[in-house]
Structures are given as C-alpha cells and as structure tokens.
Amino acid sequence: MHSGEMSVFPKISLKPEVTGYLRNVFLNKEVLAAVGPQEAESRFQKLLACLSHPPSSTCVRASTHLAPLEDIRLSLEEELKKQKCGSSAEEPSVQIAPHPRITDVLLLPVDGPRAVERLSSELVVDAQCGSAVLRGAHVFAPGIVASPKYMKAGDMVSVFSDLEGRCTRGATRFQGNKVFVGNGVAEMDRSAIFVTETPARGVGVRMVDPLYKSPSFDGVLPSMVFLQNLPSVVVGHVLAPQPGERILDMCAAPGGKTCHIAALMGDKGEVVALDRIRNKIDRIRQNAQTLSLQSIKAFRFNSTQAVSDEPTQEAEGPPFPPESFDRVLLDAPCSGLGQRPNMASTWSLKEICSYPPLQRKLFQAAVRLLKKGGVLVYSTCTVTLSENEEQVAWALSTFPCLSLQPQEPHIGSEGMLGAGLSPEQLRLLQRFSPELSWEQTDTAASLARRADTDTIGFFIAKFLKT
Ligand SMILES: C[S@@+](CC[C@H](N)C(=O)[O-])C[C@H]1O[C@@H](n2cnc3c(N)ncnc32)[C@H](O)[C@@H]1O
C-alpha cells in the first residue's frame, strides 16, 4: 500500500469530549516525558486516521483440532478459487499464508484501496454494514437503509455507508455524511427490502467491485475456518489452556475465544462459557457445534455474580464455589475504541467511562474463581488507559496474590506509559497499537509483518495467582 493512498477516509469522527479525553490519554505526562509532544501528537493523529480504515490483512483461525493447517490452507485456496470463477476479470489467485509463529492462523492480504468508479445509482447501508463490507462482506438486506426508487434485482449500484445513522429507513436518496465503499449487484428488488411484512434476510447486494477487496467467508468451509482478528487469536495462546483442565470464559459471546480455547485443549476438559445476554448464548452453542466442539458448556449468567460461597444444588452451572477453575479468561466488555474500521462513534464520554467499574467487578469475581497457581488473562479491544494499564495497576495493588506473567506469543507492542507501571511491568503487557506503524511507506513489508502491526487496537495482560 502506498502512503499517499493510506487515508482514503477522514479520521474517525468522535464527540469532541471523547476526542479531548483520548488526546489527554495519548499525550499524558509519562508519554510526553518519554517521546516529546510532537511524537505524542503524531501518534494520536495516526490513531484517529487508522481507526477509520480497515486493516491490510484478513486473519482466519483454522480448525487445527480437525485437520492439519496445510490441508486447511489448500482447501481454502480451492474454495476461494471457486468464488473467483464467478467474477469477470482474470485475476491472480488469492495468496494465503500460514502465520510464521501462530500455528493455527492463516493470513490473506486485503487489496485496497482500489480505484473504483462511482455509479449514478446509490444505495445506502448503516455504518455497521459498511464496516463489514470494508472487511470483505456482501451487503445483507437488514443493513440497507436507502436504495434507488426503481431498483431491481440485477441492477448495479454504488454502496455508501451512512456514518452518523442519519438516513431514514426506506429513503430513495441520502445527502448526509456518507462514504463510498464499492459497487455491487442488487440481489433483490427494492420492494423485497422495504415493502415486506417480515424483514428481508440474506444478501441484498453482492459486492463485485469493493473499495477494499478481501474474500467473503460467508458459508466458506464453516467448520474449518473462523474469521477472527489476530490479537483475539493471540489471547487463546496466551491463556495456554491444557487438555483436561477446567476453564472459565466469563464474557464469552459469540464464542470466538471460547471455541479457540476448546480447540487448543483438543476438546478434552471443560470450557464454561458465560454471557449476560440470552440470545447470545445460542450463538456460542452454534459456533461450538459448527466447529465440532463438545467440551463447551454455555450459560446465561451475570459474571459479576458468578462466585458463591454457598454450596449450590446444580452440579455444573453457575454460580461456582471459589477456586473452581484452572484458568480464567476475562475478555471484558469495553468501550471498543480499537475496532477497525470505525468511521464514527456517537458515544458520550459518560458511556466510555462506564466500563472500568464493571471491569473491576468482573475482575474481582475472576480472581476468586481462579485456583491457586491458576492463570488469569484480561483482554479488551480498546485503547484507553483506564480500561487497560490502569486496570492492571489497580489489580496488582488490590490482589497481592497476583503477579504479571510473560506472554507467548508476544507480537504486539508493550503497555502504554501513563499508569505508573514500571518498565518491566510494561514489557509484560501486550498492546496492539496500529498507530505505531501507520503510514509507513513500507510497501514491501511481508504479509505477516503487516498482519502483526496493522491490527485492531487491543490489550492483553496475563496474571498468575499464587
Ligand atoms: C468483548 S465481548 C466478548 C467477545 C468474546 N469473548 C469472543 O471472543 O467472541 C464482551 C461480552 O461480555 C458480555 N457481558 C457484558 N457484561 C457481562 C456480565 N456482567 N456478565 C457476563 N457477560 C457480560 C457482553 O454481552 C458481550 O458479549
């Protein structure tokens, strides 16, 4: 990718109070003392720029509990070739590379931004759908908010993402803040999308000329590959569950990490998955079934209350007595500010600041549920200090039984300055910081190198309870 092309989209749009807050985080005293005001400001601006763009590679986790990685890689290549047969242009086949260090990861380059011409017919999708399209998805009908008045199946349309959620559902045009994400062919008439009693389902527009091209994984080898951001796969390896152990995943839905944990254990042992939201529990069960994993037990439960000193009647479900688990994963609910691409967030500062207290309640339960000698992994997909390094500092001072542990693999950067942690402690943390490599003109960098650095923003800490 060329540096000139890096910023096709404007920087992420946030409420001014949120931008101000984040700026104070990235230009905090410790950072300023270490790198100076110019570098700190530059990192912050790069963060805002890279968040609105998709990462330059796609990561899939392969079901190496079912087949060898190379077999899965070859099958995937075959499947993606078939996808190509439908498209007109003679293109080279997709390059799929195993990750050099992570034994169950396959990487695919994203081709973009590409030069795509806009058409006069405009279709508008909501921001969530727009982000999915930028990561290789087709447009699903529920994401469509506006379409040309006389749109028929088979028509070519230009697809735009409605950044601020301002477009009225069922509109025929939209003049507000939108960005172009590529061209596609409508699979449905307009009436099938908006004039129906039951909401339309399935693919509404098949993307044929997306701004960022990456294979669509919808329905592709569902038992063999699972789309997952690289840092999320790293979490499973850092937790390092062993066959036969009893593991707790406290905030588990939709179960990406739960399934990875069970797979790493060769499906031997028990993985208890909790989530507060009932219909999300079905997603965990579906994913476990698709990936042929039997060792996962999913329950709807508020994990802040998952520990109980009273002996319970129910043998296997929550709440659990203290010291019930060999390892605990707390993939905490968070402000999600590391997600990419994210062009606009309407969140208030109050919403963002509501997470640390909840994370601490969950953390307290996690520590109690963990056996002595057990491992606790805490992770978030956000970039604030208050949800990451400051939580680690709080945990270390609140629970003398906890000590920070080295992580394997460690491919992100170290923890960020600003929470009073020592250099040794920061080195034990893993922060994926896409802003640190953003706009490098290094077009020749290998796929793996780009995949390791051009990620979503993410944070991982590993503790041992003694
Ligand atoms: C970051 S997501 C988890 C993603 C998941 N670990 C994965 O890899 O697929 C956080 C989850 O925490 C759940 N959650 C929030 N508060 C909770 C609570 N008090 N108890 C249990 N789950 C909670 C949310 O419903 C959400 O599904």
Mean pLDDT of 94-104: 94
> Is 54 a member of any domain?
no
Which ligand 1 atom is the nearest neighbour of the CA of 277? 25
Active site residue 129: no
Backbone angles phi, psi at 175, to 5 degrees: -100, 0
Strands 57-62 and 225-227: antiparallel
pLDDT for the residue 441: 56
**Percent of the chain as helix, strand, coil, to the nearest 5:** 30, 25, 45
Euclidean distance between CA atoms 229 and 373, whole angstroms: 29
> Is 72 a member of any domain?
no
Distance 333 CA to ligand 1 centre (A): 5
pLDDT for the residue 434: 97
254 assigned binding-site residue: yes
In which domain, by residue range, is 290 found?
229-465
pLDDT for the residue 293: 98
One-letter amino acid of 85: C
Structure confidence by residue, pLDDT tens digits, 363-382: 999 999 999 999 999 999 99
Mean pLDDT of 331-354: 96
pLDDT for the residue 4: 43
* Bridge partners, 88 (sequence order): none
> Is 327 a member of any domain?
yes
Q: Look-up: residue for tokens 């920087």?
A: 11
Tell me which of 441 and 145 has the higher pLDDT: 145
Q: What is residue 182's three-state secondary structure?
A: strand
pLDDT for the residue 52: 95
Q: Assign residue 283 the CATH number of its domain.
A: 3.40.50.150
Rg (C-alpha) for the chain, rounded Å, is 23
* Bridge partners, 98 (sequence order): 106
Mean pLDDT of 63-80: 97
Q: Are residues 195 and 255 in the same domain?
A: no
255 assigned binding-site residue: yes
Buried b (16+ CB within 10 A) or exposed e, 92-119: eebebbbbeebebbbbbbbebbeebeeb
Distance 407 CA to ligand 1 centre (A): 23
Do the interacting molecules here have an ipTM over 0.90?
yes
Report whether pLDDT(443) > 70. Answer: no
Euclidean distance between CA atoms 81 and 141, whole angstroms: 26
Q: How confident is the model at residue 313 (pLDDT cuts 50, 70, 90)?
A: low
426, 438, 445: which is closest to 12 by C-alpha? 438
Q: Are residues 192 and 263 in the same domain?
A: no
> Is 94 a member of any domain?
no
Q: How confident is the model at residue 94 (pLDDT cuts 50, 70, 90)?
A: confident
Contacts of 15 (CB under 8 A, 6+ apart): 345, 346, 347, 348, 349
Q: Assign residue 158 the CATH number of its domain.
A: 2.30.130.10
pLDDT for the residue 365: 98
DSSP conformational letter for 95: P
pLDDT for the residue 1: 42
Q: Are residues 139 and 201 in the same domain?
A: yes
Distance 299 CA to ligand 1 centre (A): 12
Q: Are residues 325 and 256 in the same domain?
A: yes
Q: Are residues 260 and 368 in the same domain?
A: yes
Euclidean distance between CA atoms 144 and 161, whole angstroms: 9
Q: Are residues 288 and 420 in the same domain?
A: yes
Q: Cis peptide before 319, with omega less than 30 degrees from 0? A: yes
354, 362, 112: which is closest to 252 by C-alpha? 362
- The answer to whether residues 448 and 100 touch, using CB atoms and an 8 Å cutoff, is yes
Domain end: 155, 181, 210, which one? Answer: 210
Tokens of 266: 């060769």
> Is 180 a member of any domain?
yes
> Is 317 a member of any domain?
yes
pLDDT for the residue 120: 96
Which ligand 1 atom is the nearest neighbour of the CA of 260? 8
Domain end: 210, 245, 280, which one? Answer: 210
Percent of the chain surpassing pLDDT 70: 95
**Residue of 59, 129, 259, 381 marked catalytic:** 381
Q: Look-up: residue for tokens 């939108």?
A: 178
Mean pLDDT of 16-28: 98
Structure confidence by residue, pLDDT tens digits, 131-168: 999 999 999 999 999 999 999 999 999 999 999 899 99
403, 402, 334: which is closest to 367 by C-alpha? 402
Q: How confident is the model at residue 316 (pLDDT cuts 50, 70, 90)?
A: confident
Structure confidence by residue, pLDDT tens digits, 198-212: 889 999 999 999 999
Q: Are residues 183 and 245 in the same domain?
A: no
End-to-end CA distance of the chain: 47
Write down the mean pLDDT value for the chain.
Answer: 94
Q: Are residues 257 and 393 in the same domain?
A: yes
* Bridge partners, 126 (sequence order): 162
In which element (H, E) is residue 170 found? Answer: none
> Is 378 a member of any domain?
yes
Domain end: 177, 210, 243, which one? Answer: 210
Q: Are residues 204 and 327 in the same domain?
A: no
Euclidean distance between CA atoms 429 and 436, whole angstroms: 16
Any alpha helices (H) in 86-222, and if so which ranges? 127-134, 190-194
Query: How many domains is the chain partitioned into structurally?
Result: 2
Alpha carbon of 117 to those of 87, 120, 157: distances in Å? 17, 10, 11
Backbone angles phi, psi at 144, to 5 degrees: -80, 130
Contacts of 87 (CB under 8 A, 6+ apart): 208
Buried b (16+ CB within 10 A) or exposed e, 140-163: bbbbbbbbbeebeeebebbbbbbb
Report whether pLDDT(86) > 60. Answer: no
Which ligand 1 atom is the nearest neighbour of the CA of 333? 10
Strands 122-126 and 156-162: parallel
Q: Are residues 247 and 350 in the same domain?
A: yes
Percent of the chain surpassing pLDDT 90: 88
DSSP conformational letter for 3: G
- The answer to whether residues 387 and 335 touch, using CB atoms and an 8 Å cutoff, is yes
From 251, 279, 280, the mutation candidate for ligand 1 (largest count of ligand atoms within 8 A of CB) is: 251
Q: Are residues 204 and 245 in the same domain?
A: no
| pTM of the predicted protein model | 0.95
Distance 331 CA to ligand 1 centre (A): 7
252 assigned binding-site residue: yes
Report whether pLDDT(339) > 60. Answer: yes
From 227, 248, 264, 275, the mutation candidate for ligand 1 (largest count of ligand atoms within 8 A of CB) is: 275
Mean pLDDT of 108-125: 96
Q: What is residue 394's three-state secondary structure?
A: helix
Q: Are residues 189 and 239 in the same domain?
A: no
> Is 117 a member of any domain?
no
Report whether pLDDT(177) > 50. Answer: yes
Least confident interval from 88-92, 128-132, 334-338, 413-417? 88-92
pLDDT for the residue 6: 62
Mean pLDDT of 109-120: 95
